[in-house]
Chain A
Amino acid sequence: MIGAWISAHGQACLRAFKRMGASPAASIISTLVIGIAIMLPLGLYSLFSNVTAAASRLNTEPNVNVYLQVAAKDDDALQTEKRLKAIANVAEVKFVPREVALAEMKRLASMADLLNGLDTNPLPHAFTLRPRATDEASLEQMQKELLALPKVDAVVMDFEWAKKLKRFATFAERLVMLLGAVLALAVVFVTGNTIRLQILTQKDEIEVSRLIGATKRFVRRPFLYFGALQGALAGGVAVAAMAALIWWAGQEVHALTISYGSDFQLQYLNAAQIASIIGIGAFLGWLGAYLSVSLYLRSARTV
């Protein structure tokens, strides 16, 4: 029973290869069209993942600055430092004494004259914190905790640009998903149309087969293999084209980043990604074939 099942699938697969070989020009053109359709979202995905990788090399960690009241003494600063270290989300605490802050400001030429004219130091003691969790919710919770501490006057969080980057990443991700979905539909339609043309040339065989006992599953099987095979090949075409594009653009990008003191290089797709793309291509091809044959069998006269 299992042997017969394997044999039936083997024959269907063989017939799919034969059908593909029977009209090589049409098969190559269809495969290239599907490959290009897969390559477009793949290219965007690759661009997006490379931008993300490049961004992750930048210091995007938000700094949190805590300013004490101007009247706060050295002892208050000491107590506050202990309290800051006790907050769960605080990974590192750096104390900036008011004297050091003033000295740094005086080093700025534009501020020196103005500060030299003052009798007293107007700057408060301050702390620069490095948070453990940098998501928006954790930082907002942390801000509340810091403001509740005694002698704390203000808390300034520098994470707006990180939020912008995150929004951009989310937008890019959604764009890739949307384009991917639209082009996945295109792959299904292109494969479906290829299969529809094949069905028309094999209408007699299908009709006779149905009349002498072929089930719809039997009729459908070689077309499904054909669709899956074409989709997988198209996935391979998209991967190869993408690799060529990354190689071509990668040389320029590398030369550019070296001039900025970075060794950043464009990433090629890894084995798991390649397998996924070929698998998705095969699935979309299979789906297109399934829909096309099912529609035909539903409309066919033979019961």
Chain B
Amino acid sequence: MITFSNTVKRYPNGFEALKGVTLSIAKGEMVAITGHSGAGKSTLLKLAAGIEAASKGSVLVNNQNLAEIKETGLGVLRRNLGLVFQDHKLLFDRNAFENVALPLSIAQFPRADIGKRVRAALDKVGLLDREKAHPITLSGGEQQRLCIARAIVNRPAILIADEPTGHLDQSYGATILDLFKSFNQVGVTVLLSTHDELNLARLKCRRIHLEMGRVAT
């Protein structure tokens, strides 16, 4: 489903974040990318989401080489991915409902469907009673759950999450990772990066460890 073949990512300043990564993630798999800060975890996820382009090698998602996809195709690809960002990237001038509805508006869903899907997604992450709340009034954990609701509202086949437990305490982190596990159990491919070794041990998923831009294990 996601394949990296000898992928290199070099930034304009010359820094090589990925130095020839080759790995494959199968459909329905849950994979955790681990490694120290600067190991290349976020870069790897950005390449998988088509947010950054590889400098060398290739990245295939659903057998599509991302380097060959045009702008419109990239939009379609991202609409079929669920993206959870480390810094949430919520819109603070919109309430929870409107934040979660954004991907559906972009995908031009009918208004009636939007309401149903948004509430279903908010319910899934336990925020149904906060649909009118603005992100500024939500806690860090709630903001993360809101971000997850926005990622799953399109019912994507692939979920990509960059440090979803990064700003959370241990117990809340466990709740979030359990949430990802539940999505994976219904067939969603999950690719996430984390530092949370303790909770990860509980999850029993495949782990890929990165060191200095290379796959270590």
Q: Is the CB of B91 within 8 A of A212?
A: no
Question: Chain A interface mostly helix, strand, loop or mixed?
Answer: helix
Q: List the A side residues contacting B106 at CB < 8 Å.
A: 209, 212-214, 218
State which residues 66-114 of B face A: CB under 8 Å: 71-72, 74-81, 83, 85, 89-92, 102-103, 105-108, 110-111
Contact call A212/B51, Cβ cutoff below 8 A? no
Once bound together, how far apart are the Cα atoms of A207 and B89, in whole Å? 9
Task: Determine whether A256 belongs to the interface, using a CB cutoff of 8 Å to chain B.
Answer: no
CB distance from A7 to the nearest CB of B (A): 6
The reply to whether the CB of A259 lies closer than 8 angstroms to some CB of chain B is no
Interface size in chain A (residues, C-beta < 8 A): 20
B52 touches A (CB below 8 Å):
yes
A59 at the interface (CB under 8 A from B): no
List, in ascending order, chain A residues with CB within 8 A of B89's CB: 204, 207-208, 211
- Give residues 190-239 of A contacting B (CB, 8 Å): 204-205, 207-209, 211-218
- Interface positions, chain A 237-289, Cβ under 8 Å from B, are none
- Tell me, rounded to whole Å, the shortest Cβ–Cβ distance linking B62 to chain A: 14
Could you tell me the distance between the alpha carbons of A83 and B195 in the complex, rounded to whole angstroms? 108
Judge whether A302 is part of the interface by a CB distance below 8 angstroms: yes
> How many contacts between A and B, using CB within 8 angstroms?
57
Q: Which residues of A contact B75 (CB under 8 A)?
A: 213-215, 218
Q: In the complex, which residue of chain B has the Cβ closest to the Cβ of A8?
A: B108
> Is B53's beta carbon under 8 Å from chain A?
yes
Residues 283-303 of chain A, each 1 if its beta carbon lies under 8 Å from chain B, else 0? 000000000000000000011
B6 to chain A, nearest CB (A): 21
Distance A303 CA – B52 CA, assembled complex (angstroms): 7
* Contact flags B170-191 to A (C-beta < 8 A → 1, else 0): 0000000000000000000000
Q: Is B164 an interface residue (CB 8 A)?
A: no
Residues of A within 8 A of B85 (CB): 211
Say yes or no: A215-B71 contact (C-beta < 8 A), given A4-B108, A11-B105, A209-B106. yes
Complex CA–CA separation, A302 to B78 (angstroms): 13
Given the complex of chains A and B, what is the CA–CA distance between A214 and B79 in angstroms?
A: 8
**Nearest CB of A to B114, in Å:** 11
In the bound complex, what is the Cα–Cα distance between A21 and B83 (angstroms)? Answer: 33
**B-side contacts of A217, CB under 8 Å:** 72
Expressed in whole angstroms, the minimum distance between the Cβ of A13 and any Cβ of chain B is 14
Q: Are A209 and B83 in contact (CB under 8 A)?
A: no
A208 and B81 CA atoms in complex are apart in Å by 14
Q: Known: A8-B108, A204-B91, A302-B51. Contact between A212 and B103, CB under 8 A?
A: yes
Q: In the complex, what residues of B have CB within 8 A of residue A214's CB?
A: 75, 106
Known A-B contacts A204-B91, A205-B91, A303-B50; A212 and B105 likewise in contact (beta carbons under 8 Å)? no
Residues of B within 8 A of A213 (CB): 75-81, 103, 106-107
B103 touches A303 (CB 8 A): no
Residue B150 CB within 8 A of the other chain: yes
In the complex the two chains form, what is the Cα distance from A7 to B109 in whole Å? Answer: 9
Given known A4-B108, A302-B51, A303-B53, contact A216–B102 (CB-CB < 8 A): no
Q: Which of B52, B76, B90, B102 contacts A209 (CB 8 A)?
A: B102
CB distance from A15 to the nearest CB of B (A): 10
**Cβ-defined contact, B74 with A303, below 8 A:** yes
Q: Which residues of B contact A204 (CB under 8 A)?
A: 89, 91-92
**Which of chain A's residues have a CB closer than 8 A to the CB of B105?**
11
Which B residues are CB-close (under 8 A) to A208?
89-91, 102
Chain A residues, CB < 8 A from B72: 215, 217
Query: Complex Cα distance A211/B87, Å?
Result: 13
Q: How far is the CB of B60 from chain A (nearest CB, A)?
A: 17
Shortest CB distance A150–B (Å): 80
State the Cβ distance, A285 to closest chain B Cβ, in Å. 24
Q: How far is the CA of A208 from the CA of B150 in the complex (A)?
A: 11
User: Closest residue to A205 on the B side, CB-wise?
Assistant: B91
Which B residues have a C-beta under 8 Å from some C-beta of A? 49-53, 71-72, 74-81, 83, 85, 89-92, 102-103, 105-108, 110-111, 150
Q: Which 5 A-B pairs have the closest CB atoms?
A: A213-B79, A213-B78, A215-B75, A4-B108, A214-B106
The contact sample of 6 A-B pairs, CB cut-off 8 A, is A205-B91, A209-B106, A213-B77, A213-B107, A215-B72, A303-B53
- Given A211-B78, A212-B83, A213-B106, output 7 extra A-B contacts at Cβ < 8 Å: A207-B89, A208-B102, A211-B89, A212-B103, A212-B150, A214-B75, A217-B72
